Amino acid sequence: MLSQQMRIFLRVAECGSFTKASLFEHMTPVAVMKHINAMEYRLGLTLFERSSRGVRLTSAGQSLYEEGLRMQEEEERALARAKAAQERDERTIRVGSSMLNPCTRIMDMVADNRELFSGFRFRVVPYDDNREKILSLISSLGSNIDILVGVFNSKRMQEQASYLVLGSYRLTVSLSKNHRLAGRERIELSDLVVDKF
């Protein structure tokens, strides 16, 4: 990684002025000049000729500038390679989980198919299950959460994301022992129409 002094040196060389370089570096012109003075002292080189009109690279400064540009390009390539390696080695998929829509189904699928998912890490991200937040969460998939498991049958939900059917499940209802439907073995949806839960 390039040192702060080297970065400031490259900026001053490009701008031809401590004042102009200071605007890019978000520091005062005096602070920029102090960095350059310290660098020249440490290296034992005069890097700039100073005048009232700005600064100009010396031959030593020009040589260091050209090498600095090469180092900067190599640093950028090295960072890009490191990021690509990390993405290959450690692709993290964030799975949303809540009380009503736990992520157990997808985590079971991952566990059952470990070889398919060997290049991925899965992280469980908890979320709240209220109606307003779920629509916002679905519309922002990919930012904090990548995958949600649950029932997504409203038109608004289906307009905001892509869905894959993982399976179908029996619907169960918990009722009070005193409820008129409590003793039945099977309940149809039409049985629930008159009730308010």
CATH number of the domain where residue 26 is located: 1.10.10.10
The predicted model gives 13-22 an average pLDDT of 96
Assess if residue 169 is contained within a domain. Answer: no
User: What pLDDT score does 89 carry?
Assistant: 60
Assess if residue 196 is contained within a domain. Answer: no
Assess if residue 130 is contained within a domain. Answer: yes
* This prediction's pTM: 0.47
Domain that holds residue 98: 89-159
Kindly provide the residue ranges of all beta strands, DSSP E only, lying in 30-175, ordered along the sequence: 48-51, 54-57, 91-97, 120-126
Residue 146: partners with Cβ closer than 8 Å, 6 or more residues away: 93, 94, 95
Q: What share of the chain is helix, strand, coil (3-state, %, to 5)?
A: 50, 10, 40
pLDDT one-digit tens code per residue, 152-173: 777 888 888 888 887 777 777 7
Domain count, the chain: 2
User: What pLDDT score does 61 carry?
Assistant: 97
Neighbours of 86 (CB within 10 A): 11
User: What pLDDT score does 197 carry?
Assistant: 54
pLDDT one-digit tens code per residue, 88-146: 666 788 899 998 889 998 899 899 998 998 878 898 999 887 777 888 888 888 888 88
pLDDT one-digit tens code per residue, 65-93: 999 999 999 999 999 888 877 776 667 88
Which 3 state secondary structure label does DSSP give 94? strand
